[in-house]
Structures are given as structure tokens and as C-alpha cells.
Amino acid sequence: MNTIYRQLCCDHKHMQQMLNAFEQLLLDLFGRSDRDPNTLTLILDALDYFSVYPDKYHHPVEDLILARLLTKPIHGRDAIYEAQMQHEQIAAATKHMCALFYAVANDAMVERRVLQGASNNYLQLQRSHISLENSAIFPQIEQYLDAEDWKQINKQVAEIKDPLFDENAKKIYESLRNYLVQPETAEKALA
């Protein structure tokens, strides 16, 4: 298995864990009448992660691979086009979520129902995207891309690592990483 492809598979596992933890943070936030600043800080950190790694590294690498895949005589082109479109939708949705939660952090009035609706839509979009790629895109990558394809892709991509799960992770994500590795959170994330 190619190292870039292996990294994308690991990324999906990590993003699913992050989405589960993010959902738990949202439940904690919406389940309280008073605002816990630690929960809001972790939500903002998670949104920062989603705006930095997937949108700036993971999805652009996938886009290179998808473009290469489209040069092959494959039958699942609609799934590829859908995944490419979702990359744009996810980037826009992440910006929207950041704007909403930074408004909350700055004590601006944001209706709870608006925040909850946007959060639910965001989680659904992210999860359906990962599911689409895992079920319809990744099998095609395995089937159709050969060593020469990966050689060409490698020329275009520097080796990347997920800043949250990499052992040399930046300190900016340390509190978020600690939240994810707490025993009770880990159990919830895997449930």
C-alpha cells in the first residue's frame, strides 16, 4: 500500500474520532444552561483543526489522486465528482462553523437553534463525505492506481502528517489531543 494512500486511510480514522469528540463537545455545550469556557475552547480548537488539516492538506492531496483516477477507465465517476464537490462544501461549512462559534466566544448573540442546526448539518456532511470516500473512492484507488501513478502523485505531494495525531504535534492542539485520549472520551469516540 502506498504511503500517501495509507496516510489518507489513517486521516479518515482520525477525522472520525475527531468528529465523535466534536459531537460530544457540542452535546456538552448544548446540554448546559451556562457556558463552560473549556468546552468552547475545545470546540474552537477542533474547528481550527478541521480548517487547517483536512481543508489545507488532506483534501488537496485527495483532489490530486482523484484527478489521476479520472484518467483511468473507471465506472464510478459520479462518486468522484461528488467527493470533489463535497471538498468545497466542507471548506465553506467549516468557515461558517468557525464564524458562528467565534461569535459565541465573543459574546455575540447566536440563536441556539441556529447553532445546533448548523452543527448537525456539519457533522452529517463530514460523516457522509468520509463514508462516500471509504465505500466508493478508496476501492477504486486500490484497483486502478499503479506504481507509476503513485510515482507521479508523489512528485506533486510532500509527505504530510496529521498535526493532531502526529507524535511531534504542534502545541496548539495539545489540549484537544488530551481531550481525545481521555479514557471516557475514547470510549465514546469509538462507540
Q: Which of 83, 51, 86 is nearest to 67 (CA)?
A: 83
Range in 139-143, 162-166, 170-174 with the lowest mean pLDDT:
162-166
Tell me the pTM: 0.81
Give the number of domains in the chain.
Answer: 1
CA distance 11 to 114: 29
pLDDT of 186? 47
Domain extent at residue 111: 3-190
In contact, 8 and 58? CB cutoff 8 Å: yes
Q: With left for phi above 0 and alpha for psi between -120 and 50, is residue 74 left, alpha or beta?
A: beta
Query: What CATH number is attached to the domain comprising 33?
Result: 1.20.120.520
In contact, 4 and 169? CB cutoff 8 Å: no
pLDDT band at 74 (very low <50, low <70, confident <90, very high): confident
